[in-house]
A and B are shown apart, each in its own frame.
Chain A
Amino acid sequence: MKTTKLNVALIVLVVMGIGFSFTTSNKVTVKGSDTMVILSQKWAEVYMKKNPGASIQVTGGGSGVGLAALINGSTDIANSSRPIKPAEIEKLKARYNSMGVEIPCAKDGLSVYLNKANPVTTLTIKQIGLIFAGKITNWKEVGGPDATIKLYGRESSSGTFTFFKDNVVRTDFSPSCQTLPGTAAIVNAVKKDKYSIGYGGAAYAEGVKDCAVKKDDKSPAVLPTGATIKNHTYPISRYLYMYLKSKPTGEAKAFIDWILSAEGQKLIEEVGYYPLK
């Protein structure tokens, strides 16, 4: 009997311990965009090394997941690779009577990937949009060989998908667009498929060709490089955001200020994205 009681006592202790560990610690939680997970983790890691008292917990899940968690109050900071949607602001307002605080913290270029064997090297934004909307289906329509265009894209839960849809395609994606989980999968698919086109972060383009993008027919073609993304001559670039319910205070404020400082911004390039300046 004694051991049974001891076991019960132990279980109760463990349960209580777990319970308390959730309530008493005052760590900053960061949740959201999978694009930003590596970057956020790097930030948290370096910041915690500098400030041993700080506890910053980073999880991914996707931009929408992070913003939903912000609305539900289960995270302090939401990472998002797309701007907050009006519907989400509406929910924040209903719940916290606040518009949310937006903090652009890094820049990212969305690159259009082409297979290295593809003779096409430049496209206008309009052509890219029409290709992904399924209006242009053959490479010869954009000055390439007579071959069907294979489309690779992200699933609709991705922030990258939403950004590309809102800013480049501007209508529904073609139903023949194959959606793959993750940018790396798209790069791999494009690498193996000669007449394919895909999109994703500029940092991922390994083994594929970045498409030089023209704003319109007359403007020059720009390749996504660090310089062109930073000074906005490359047309498909975006901000990576952090969202909060209200102006940051305490630990979160210190962390964000540090991210925006030169020191935090310096880390961005190590991960493959681009600093604000």
Chain B
Amino acid sequence: MNSQSPIKQTFTKESLKKQFRLSEFLSEKIITSVAFLSIAIIFLIFIFVFKESLPLFSFGNKAKPNTEIQSNTDKPETYGAATEELKPETYGATTTEELKPEIYGSEPVSNEELKPETYGESKKEDLSVPLADEPMDAVSENKEGADNTWSTFFSTEWVPVSDNPRFGLIALLIGTLKVTIIAILIAGPLAILAAVYTSCFASNRRKEIIKPIIEMLAAFPSVVIGFFAMMVLATFFQDVFGYDSRLNAFIGGVAMALAAIPIIYTISEDALSAVPKTYTEASLALGASKAQTAFKVILPAATPGIFAALLLGVGRVFGETMIALMATGNAALLSANPFESVRTFAATIGSEMAETVFGETHYSVLFFIGSLLFIFSFILNAIAEFYVKGKLIKKFQGK
């Protein structure tokens, strides 16, 4: 761009000064701003997520009109009646008609054809019987107002779309932990052993084949893994173990292990390779076998890195949405049985965010779950950063 003739180059104090180049200046600024932008974006996302869940924390009555179904609570089966005053246009003309918005089109739907009527009188009577017979149990009641959905947070039922919605986070939390533990129990040992093999035992040629292949697992979109788990793994494991529900925490855990293995493997492998050669050489020189060196010297020395790898794997599984959505069955059951369906935090957000009405309690609760996920991953990262760097490294380096 700037061609300066090198012929008469005299070095004055001026010319030795750093020259101002616009391109350099711009690229430097852009790189700096990108670096700071990511920090800013993370904070903005967190602020947004937390802000949307804020209505939950206002203990006044303000949030009450936002809740989805406030007028239907007394008589759940009269679907149309609650809307009476909302539609004056058609309401005035025919008072007995089912209330609905104005109709446009050559073929207006007559009263009998509208949904609530489609079933005929007899059917309505039929279904009102079970409603009367079996009122909600006391546990499931949501005391709106004073404590505004908080009362249901520690219940076990997750029924957000209901005449009295219940947001039992406990069942979701247990479900998430169940899937995470299963996934890490499977992925952790497999990935770490694979890493030990490639870094300590495998020949260079094998290493060059195995490493990229395992890392390729990370390239699978989670939808594909989820679909594979739903269609193939679920049937296979049901045949093997003979449990009851086809889609369950175990299947979800297996599928998520597939997603977590490449992460844990890559980072553990790096940690193992980063152990100074002197350790290995010293150990071998003292007459230790290859296996003894690997498991007694290299593995302990790499523990901080492996620990960090596991934490990152946990983070991946904890936030995984698509696999959970497809393979875990998504039923918020509270049980210790790993072969029961579960519902995870992330899957709940993924499946329910799409159609919640902005500003209502359900929406806020979903964002609250989002904040929980964010805080959890923040804590995990903090542990990985401070505990591992601070304590473990010092311990293993003998400082």
Q: Which residues of A contact B (CB under 8 A)?
A: 1, 3-4, 61-65, 68, 83-84, 86-90, 93, 99-105, 124-126, 129-130, 133, 135, 148, 150-151, 155-159, 161-163, 165-167, 170-173, 175-181, 185, 188-189, 192-193, 196, 215-216, 219, 232, 235, 237-239, 243-244, 247-248, 256-257, 260-261, 276-277
Contact = CB atoms under 8 A, between A and B. Distances in A.
27 contacts: A62-B354, A83-B114, A87-B68, A99-B90, A100-B102, A101-B101, A102-B101, A102-B102, A125-B119, A125-B126, A129-B127, A157-B352, A157-B354, A163-B115, A165-B161, A167-B115, A170-B77, A171-B76, A172-B163, A179-B351, A189-B247, A192-B235, A216-B122, A219-B122, A238-B115, A239-B113, A247-B104
B331 A176 contact: yes
Contacts, number: 201
B284 interface: no
A63 B356 CA distance: 10
A215 B122 contact: yes
Interface residues of B, number: 76
B79 interface: yes
A172 B87 CA distance: 28
Nearest to A91: B357
A136 B368 CA distance: 34
Contact of B104 (A102, A175, A193): A102
A185 B113 contact: no
Contacts of B160: 156
Interface stretch (B144-152, B254-262, B307-315, B322-330): B322-330
Contact of B76 (A1, A64, A170, A192): A170
Chain B CB count within 10 A is highest, among A104, A173, A248, for: A104
Contacts of B22: 1, 4
B101 A181 contact: no
Interface of B: 1, 22-23, 26, 68-69, 71, 76-77, 79, 82-83, 86-90, 100-107, 109, 113-116, 118-120, 122-123, 126-131, 134, 136, 157-163, 171, 230-231, 234-235, 244-247, 325-326, 329-333, 341, 343, 351-358
B244 A148 contact: yes
A175 B157 contact: yes
Chain A CB count within 10 A is highest, among B22, B69, B104, B329, for: B104
A130 B131 CA distance: 10
List the 9 shortest-distance A-B pairs measured between CB atoms, nearest first: A64-B355, A157-B355, A155-B351, A86-B83, A178-B329, A156-B161, A102-B101, A179-B330, A157-B354
Contacts of B161: 156, 161-162, 165
Contact of B103 (A101, A172, A178): A101
Chain B CB count within 10 A is highest, among A101, A135, A247, for: A101
Given A89-B87, A156-B161, A171-B131, A216 B123 contact: yes
A89 B103 contact: no
Given A89-B101, A126-B126, A232-B113, 18 more contacts: A64-B354, A64-B357, A99-B88, A150-B246, A156-B355, A170-B130, A171-B130, A175-B158, A175-B171, A176-B331, A178-B341, A179-B329, A179-B330, A179-B351, A189-B247, A192-B234, A192-B246, A256-B104
A150 B127 CA distance: 22
